[in-house]
Amino acid sequence: MDYLKTQSVKSLHGTIKISGAKNASLPLIAMTILAKNLVNIKNLPHVVDIRTLLKLLSNLGADVNFLEDRVTIDTSVLTQTKATYDIVKTMRASILVLGPILSRFGHCEVSLPGGCAIGQRPIDLHLKALEQMGANIEIKSGYIEATTPNGLQGCDIIFDKITVTGTANIIMAAVLAKGNTTITNAAREPEVVQLCEVLNESGVTIEGIGTAILTIHGTDGKLLDIKDFSIIPDRIEAGTYLCAGAITQSEITLENVEPKHLGAVLAKLEEMGSSFTTTQDTITIHPSKTIKPVKIVTQEYPAFPTDMQAQFMALATQAEGVSIIEEKLFENRFMHVSELQRMGADISLNGHTATVSGKMSLSGTDVMATDLRASSALVLAALIAKGETNIHRIYHLDRGYDALEKKLQGVGAKIERLSE
């Protein structure tokens, strides 16, 4: 099993190229199930979750060719409609195949999902919406068994709470349905927006893109001719490296980034003292000599993202004062706190709120990654911790970060991947 050995650095300097967004890639890969043609996707990140979903499509019978940062997918040869437990258990996002398979074939079996242990992310919203569209759904032996005797029918769907994966799943289900489907309280994340834009460019009329109310005009079973497209930059990866610049008080430039997707993150970094120079596709962080405390509440886009909470907690340990971080989306997303405390962080928890007192002198030690974003928080803390830090169980990190240690090495970090 691999781990990362990291030593503190005085500063970082240089340029990091941001990879394609994992969270945009997953629904777009699942979307190829709706295509009648060979689909070419560019700017895919080399992360475990992408390879897992591509393997799932291969197991369903698709012809998949993944080379460098590009993949070609031919789902016209699909022969299976069962997504088995051995793959789905490793990644919750595998549930994204449910909507498109059911819409295309009228039946499917998808294992109940596994993945990160950051808290419950129930799929009941997905299933309730599909039932509203005419699906018959049963849970048997750990599998979702769904059929559509009369095909999926467009209808009005109101999500009780915002769900990114649920929104993407129902959008894809609605594409081949009969009639129009309106989703109210839809997720507005850039990853959902790109899914809608690619479908729009492939002949599907979708109204309200980027808003909380989407209307999808179904094709009544007509498969799509999906044009070549490129994945948007990963805003969470970009935010993580901006935090690396802030915590080491270093100037770093990010390339292949979309600044408008990072509004809430940039605003909080500015509150903490950083400033920025931006172009259409670059961001340069100019950190301050003193890091200021901050108050953060995680919410759905365009508010502050839960996927950046752990990284900002690491940064807050170096602020001159007390920071308050409230996690509103996932109940178990403070598992990194105990590991940061092992490094000397002064953090107290009260329910869904963390109080971080700074400025603390962190010390290197052995720590354990507990989920994807917690892993990157430990890397950030290790950059400024005295001595050597060994971060174990980085298979969590590999689920969502493309060559993190190599990118950090490129800007001067003392970090290397070793096997234990």
Catalytic residues: 116
Q: If we measure between CA atoms, which residue out of 357, 307, 302, 347 comes closest to residue 327?
A: 307
Give the CB-side neighbour count of residue 270, counting CA atoms within 13 A.
10
**For residue 124, what is the enclosing H or E element?**
helix 124-132
The rounded distance, in Å, linking the Cα atoms of 193 and 229 is 14
For residue 293, is the peptide bond before it cis, meaning its omega torsion is within 30 degrees of 0? no
The rounded distance, in Å, linking the Cα atoms of 345 and 332 is 19
Q: If we measure between CA atoms, which residue out of 31, 58, 25, 28 comes closest to residue 224?
A: 31
**Torsion (CA) 63, 398, 281, 261 in degrees, nearest 10:** 100
Q: How many angstroms separate the Cα of 198 from the Cα of each of 35, 104, 202, 205? A: 12, 18, 6, 11
Helix, strand, or coil here: 40?
strand
Give the CB-side neighbour count of residue 204, counting CA atoms within 13 A.
38
